[in-house]
């Protein structure tokens, strides 16, 4: 049984600051972590295994390692069904590039991201790529802010996803933003068959890595 992805819309669903989750079908979790490390902006990074952790103990480790957890990036990784996943902790905001390169060699990759504490504010973001091609991307409020007014990407895939979002009543600028967030996550989840287990991520122990300069 899957928890889907709608639970991400709850306040501080994973950690303070929002969530950055990448799912991949066609990669082991460890390889997903390596490919994510390669997308960090500014310097070449590698994923260094640090054992199993809860979210809190990984943040504590990063505080000890970097002096402040927000000075580094950690990932907890796992698998659910066909999907591997990586959940980011620490100072991940704006540090990762597009997931499209991760999808090379026939891999399906999905990004779900929300900078919850950003004062600007930034809407939740979605991106899906396959085999080195962006299939669809949008901000989940579907407004004209932050570069997206509708779904972008491969014309056929983007149009079909846009139709599903429209059928769900989106965009709706009068509706509560958290409800819009939940509704959009549900549409994307059903469209791509996404799966993300809540209990292991929120309460359990998972293998973890920290991203360090190569």
Mean pLDDT, the chain cut into blocks of 10 residues (214 residues total) = 86 92 98 97 93 98 95 97 97 95 98 90 94 96 75 96 96 93 97 96 97 94
pTM, two decimal places: 0.95
How large is the C-alpha radius of gyration of the chain?
A: 16
Model pLDDT for residues 119-148, shown as the tens digit of each residue:
788 899 999 999 999 999 999 999 876 656
What does the alpha-carbon distance between residue 164 and residue 109 come to, in Å, rounded to a whole number? 20
Task: For 96-126, give one letter per residue: b (16+ CB within 10 A) or e.
Answer: beebbebbeeebbbbbbbbbbeeeeebbbbb
Domain ranges within the chain, ordered by starting residue: 6-213
- Report DSSP letters for 28-47, one per residue: -HHHHHHHHHTTBSSS-EEE
C-alpha to C-alpha distance for 156 and 158, rounded to whole angstroms: 6
User: Are 87 and 104 within 8 A, CB to CB?
Assistant: no
pLDDT given at position 146: 63
Q: What is the pLDDT of residue 72?
A: 95
């Amino acid at each position: 049984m899957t928890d889907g992805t709608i639970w991400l819309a709850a306040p501080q669903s994973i950690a303070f600051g929002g969530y950055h989750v990448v799912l991949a079908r066609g990669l082991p979790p460890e390889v997903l972590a390596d490919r994510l490390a390669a997308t960090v902006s500014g310097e070449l990074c590698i994923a260094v295994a640090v054992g199993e952790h809860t979210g809190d103990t990984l943040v504590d480790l990063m505080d000890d390692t970097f002096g402040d957890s927000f000075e580094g990036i950690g990932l907890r990784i796992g698998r659910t069904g066909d999907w591997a996943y990586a959940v980011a902790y620490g100072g991940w905001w704006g540090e990762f590039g597009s997931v499209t390169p991760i999808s090379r060699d026939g891999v399906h990759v999905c990004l779900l991201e929300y900078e919850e504490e950003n004062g600007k504010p930034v809407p939740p973001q979605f991106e899906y790529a396959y085999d080195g091609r962006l299939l669809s991307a949008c901000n989940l409020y579907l407004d004209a802010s932050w570069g997206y007014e509708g779904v972008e990407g491969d014309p056929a895939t983007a149009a079909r996803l846009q139709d599903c979002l429209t059928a769900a009543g989106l965009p709706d600028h009068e509706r509560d933003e958290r409800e819009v967030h939940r509704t959009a996550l549900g549409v994307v989840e059903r469209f791509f068959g996404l799966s993300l287990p809540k209990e292991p991520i929120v309460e359990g122990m998972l293998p973890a890595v920290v991203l360090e300069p190569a």
